[in-house]
Amino acid sequence: MGLNTASQFLKIAVVLSLLAAIFHAVGFATNSWRVTWTSHQGLWETCVGDLCGKFDTRDSKFLAVRAMETIGLIMVLAVLLVGIVFLCVDNMRRRSIRSFLILGSLLGVVAITIGLIIYGVDYIQNCGLSCKVGYSMALTIVGGILELGAGVTFALDRPR
């Protein structure tokens, strides 16, 4: 019952989803998406030297990045929570919930990817050689890749 009857694919998918949630949440919250010689900027805060402050913008492209990354994080967390229940409770192992896990993972990855593309095109390229991609953006990319792996692994899991 529960974990004992769960397939290896299901267990791997939940672990991948957990790792994706951790990586994406850290990348989402930290302030090193873009790094220059004197500053670093995240989605919510920018720092010049040791002075950090709220990064408030009305730039619609940057707001779209925030929205996409927020949607991505919500989807990753929803898939993780439902995946844990799906893993631990035999009665919850239904086709509709399995479909949610697969589609939720893929939608989360799509949202994360759209946010990364908008950010990359509009901010990294316009910055030229003076900017570098920071660890926060890298963690978000890793989180998206892990969530894609979770979605594929949920799809490989077949009911017994």
Question: Does residue 3 lie within any of the structural domains?
Answer: no
What's the rounded mean pLDDT across residues 150-155? 95
More confident residue, 131 or 17: 17
pLDDT tens-place string over residues 27-73:
999 988 888 888 888 888 888 888 888 877 777 888 999 999 999 99
- Structural domain including 100 reads 10-36+60-156
CA distance 139 to 160: 35
Of residues 145, 125, 133, 118, the one with CA closest to residue 33: 133
Confidence band for 90, pLDDT divided at 50, 70 and 90: confident
124: pLDDT strictly greater than 80: no
CATH of residue 108: 1.20.140.150
pLDDT attached to residue 1: 57
Contact yes or no for 96/127 (Cβ under 8 A): no
Question: Does residue 5 lie within any of the structural domains?
Answer: no
What's the rounded mean pLDDT across residues 147-156? 95
Question: Does residue 74 lie within any of the structural domains?
Answer: yes
Number of H helices, E strands in the chain: 5, 5
Question: Does residue 1 lie within any of the structural domains?
Answer: no
Question: Does residue 79 lie within any of the structural domains?
Answer: yes
Question: Does residue 65 lie within any of the structural domains?
Answer: yes
Between 30-34, 125-129, 155-159, the lowest mean confidence (pLDDT) is in: 125-129
Question: 47 in helix, strand or coil?
Answer: strand
Confidence band for 142, pLDDT divided at 50, 70 and 90: very high
One-letter amino acid for residue 64 of the chain: A
The pTM (predicted TM-score) of the whole model is 0.89
